[in-house]
Amino acid sequence: MNRQTLIQQIRTKKSYLCVGLDSDITKIPAHLLQKEDPVFEFNKAIIDATKDVCVSYKINTAFYESNGLQGWQSMEKTLNYIPKDIFTIADAKRGDIGNTSTQYAKAFFNAMHFDSITVAPYMGKDSVKPFLDFENKWTIVLGLTSNEGAFDFQYLKNENQELFKHVIQKVASWGTDENLMFVIGATKTAQLKEVREIIPNHFLLVPGVGAQGGSLEEVSKIGMNADVGLLVNASRQIIFASNGEEFAEKARGEALKLQAEMALYL
């Protein structure tokens, strides 16, 4: 999916909501466990309930890979079920030496047809560049994360500048705002203004709104650019809003709340 198509979806739906399909089989409603593929049945219902109010789905591959072959099959069926006009993210956090990254890119872009993949930049340019060589595909690089361990490395200073700023500046020079996005945690609003000064035009994938305590209002007011430039992810808040038979209805209710708030900021 190219940038203009994504922007058009955001404008049409008045939404920049990304629904995270972190579909942990131990948390899905019990009545689905009798199905041949419980995870896919869960995802299918969530997609049906939210596809008109979100512009993206983020599949956290760990929750599928942990179930072996059946998990990969659930992931592929889920991906194929998502409407083609909705932006898809493989939240796989890959990043290895160049020839290995090329194979990861082929796996997620050619074999599975995701629109984008999350990538860890620690190994440098030759581990990221292979993902950028695919037309109309996006590389979403970890920029500044919300986890506690972010303070171990991301805030270390070199020449009086935090490491995460060096990373964002350097990675931005390897691609363009047509094929590069950055992950910036929603709880990092104090740094979001500085990030926008470095990359004013790039899209940001922002996890951490809702269950993790991030403020949608603050993220929107500080992080939005002329093209909106945000994909705000919500996972648990939506997909696990209920573990009863009405789980999809409850998920839709949570998605609608976020979409309605987003419409106010557009």
Q: Where in the sequence numbering do the catalytic residues fall?
A: 93
Whole-angstrom distance, CA of residue 167 vs CA of residue 144: 9
- The full DSSP string for 28-60 is S-GGGTTSSSHHHHHHHHHHHHHTTT-SEEEEE
Alpha carbon separation from 263 to 212, 217, 247 (Å, rounded)? 22, 11, 24
Whole-angstrom distance, CA of residue 251 vs CA of residue 91: 21
Would you say the C-alpha torsion 221, 93, 202, 53 has a positive or negative sign?
A: negative
Q: How many CA atoms lie within 13 A of 156 on its CB side?
A: 7
Q: Centre a 10 Å sphere on the Cβ of residue 173 and count the other Cβ atoms it contains.
A: 9
Whole-angstrom distance, CA of residue 96 vs CA of residue 202: 24
- Residue 218 Cα to chain centre, angstroms: 19
Three-state DSSP at 262 gives: helix
The structure tokens listed for 88 are 């898809």
Three-state DSSP at 80 gives: helix
